[in-house]
Amino acid sequence: MAQYNYPVTKKIDHTDTYHGTTVADPYRWLEDDRSAETAEWVKQQNEVTNKYFEQIPYRAEIMKRLEKIYNYPKYSSPSRKGEWFYFYKNDGLQNQSVLYRQKGLDGTPELVIDPNKLSADGTTRLVQFVLSKDGKYGAMALSKGGSDWQDIVIMDMATKQNLSEKLEWVKVSGISWQGNGFYYSRYPKPEGSALAAKNENHQVFFHKVGTSQADDELVFEDKTNPQRFNGVYTSEDQKFAFLSISDRGKGKDGNALYYRAAGEKEFKPIIAEITNSSYSIVDNIGQAFLVQTNHNAPNDKVEKFDIATGKWSTILPEKSEPLQGVSSAGGKLFALYLKDVTTRVYVYDFNGKRENEVQLPSLGSAGGFGGEADDKFVFYTFSTFNYPPTIFRYDIASKKSTVFRSPEVDFKATDFETKQVFYMSKDGTKIPMFIVYKKGLKLNGQNPTLLYGYGGFNVNLNPGFSPTLIPFLEQGGVYASANLRGGGEYGEKWHEQGMKLKKQNVFDDFIAAGEYLIAQKYCDNAHLAIRGGSNGGLLVGAVMNQRPDLAKVAIPQVGVMDMLRFQKFTIGWNWIADYGSSDNAEEFKTLYGYSPIHNIKSGVNYPATLITTADHDDRVVPAHSFKYAATLQELGAGSSKNPLLIKIDTNSGHGASNTKKNLESTADIYAFIWWNMGFVPKF
């Protein structure tokens, strides 16, 4: 069995029939995440993978360099509540960022909560912290071991002591205060595996401070449509509550939107029916709501809905660039647009009159700008590939930005270069891509090159700084980030070009990106690695099957690998809006045609593959990666000259659950790439 001694994975005789097509599923038993047999399989796979990494002599040096460059203080933008400013800080290598507050911007910081003390291994995360409107209480959502499940606890901000109540089984939820309590969303306690069972019947409750969860008021549920997301959020003045309902399980990409005034019981429709148009509240002006929507506007616009008349009027019309988001602060609207994947920020009054553009340091990514109605200034963060996240203070009256806090990172920005290129995909569509490398790079086709992609769910891959990328670039590596269709970089039309029956466009775009890098002599096939996570893991798996010769190394992380059964687990049904479903005959044909598990063939020399997943990933359950690894090892072991390995992390989820795990995973990936390319880094 080649030179890699993979564990023998038992096969069972199991088949399913889809629209007349019989599909074998011999590794179905690996879907049981609670069985002793699955646990033993995980143990054996990790033993093989860990043994493989023991032979790589520079793995420890990579980790050392990653720790050194990551070890600098990292801050979030402050947010104001009355006289207090709240912010997160990570001293450098802390597993979790710590929440602080201070009186005024010159005050002495005081500790609010240190999540590092909530678990022995630092894998309990503070996912949300939301203050009541008067700042008297803070509601904290905590996640354990990387799971998407959250517990909510409440802190008395005067004493900084937690109250006795705890809210459980919270998922896909905000925390929206109104008066003496808040709205949140949860599921009934799951039957069977808490990390794999399908999540249905999303309920909205109102929790009153000082009471138990059993006494919470059920605000909304819809048992006739169990695969919907339901959430309630409130206006800053607390006069209105808004109910948003989405039905992505039925393939619809938009939402319905309702409102009720404080004191009322019934929600009234703003948008009564769910279609493919999305609607979200930006702010309210008295009895009128500002709504961001893509209805008849693929690039988004802002409309005003007057509840007194029921009429709509346009505040910010659709532009040729997609509107990424709108926030309000200090009586102004801050609108973030995307031009060729870089941010532009404009300030408007509430009538839609443009006042000015916020001048950013260069082309890159900016975010923030939200705040209270009486704010005199706001904060925002700017970064790009060789510009670490820097917090700016924007004065609303003078329209000027000043640096509030800039990080000290152990690298010279001037040593590195970033350029944006546009290349042609298979059907002639022009695709943007950022390429980052050390100055003086020789285009000789021999540079270790890492191509990253995602291409789905309207998600943008914006240019941003990552300290963990620097060690790869320092060694002469090239990093390329391709902005594939399926994302939202050019609005909803760009997204639609990579959805459902058009998903092949995404794979074609990624393949064309690799071919461009090779044609331009950044690398050759022997020096190209492809990487992606989640929907990007699916991307890597599909591209490996379609073009096993494209890259030397493939890193599919937490990928959606079984396209016929993804909707059977946790909130997987939510992805039907992007992928379609095997329950539909036409969509089944497309899904079956590219599903990573179902298109692995024997006799193929697959790239060196490192599959990664984690035991607490309850978004894309690890069964996807388990079954994929078993199939790849079974069919590829005899013909692939390269290792086909899987690494399963513990107490981690859809992303690394703490800093240590993030750095360890990155060290593994770089070691695996360089080792299989025959490249020896110089530390």
| Active-site residue, from 147, 202, 654, 657 | 654
Among 2, 123, 4, which residue's Cα sits nearest to residue 646? 4
Q: Would you call 205 helix, strand, or coil by DSSP?
A: strand
Q: What is the C-alpha separation between 344 and 326, in angstroms, rounded? A: 12
Q: Assign 162 to helix, strand or coil.
A: strand
| 277-292 b/e (C-beta count within 10 Å ≥ 16 → b) | bbbbbbbbeeebbbbb
Give CA–CA dist 117/423, Å, rounded. Answer: 48
Distance between CA atoms of residues 229 and 249, nearest Å: 9
What backbone torsions phi and psi does residue 131 show, to the nearest 5 degrees? -85, 145
Give Cβ neighbours of residue 412 (< 8 Å, ≥ 6 apart).
none
Reference 365, options 409, 325, 416; nearest CA is 325
* Cβ atoms of residues 159 and 630 within 8 Å: no
User: How do 150-156 and 240-246 pair as beta strands?
Assistant: unpaired
Q: Is 534 a catalytic residue?
A: yes
Contact 606, 640 (CB under 8 A): yes
With CA atoms as reference, report the closest residue to 577 among 227, 295, 323.
Answer: 227
- Identify the CA nearest to 520 among candidates 489, 553, 476, 478: 478
Choose, from 119, 277, 534, 640, the residue flagged as catalytic.
Answer: 534
Name the residue type at position 165.
E
How far apart are the C-alpha atoms of 526 and 172, rounded to whole Å? 42
257: left (phi over 0), alpha (psi -120 to 50) or beta: beta
Decide if 610 contacts 668 (C-beta within 8 A). yes
CB-CB contact of 27 with 631 (8 Å): yes
Main-chain dihedrals φ then ψ at residue 259, nearest 5 degrees: -140, 160
* Residues labelled catalytic: 534, 654
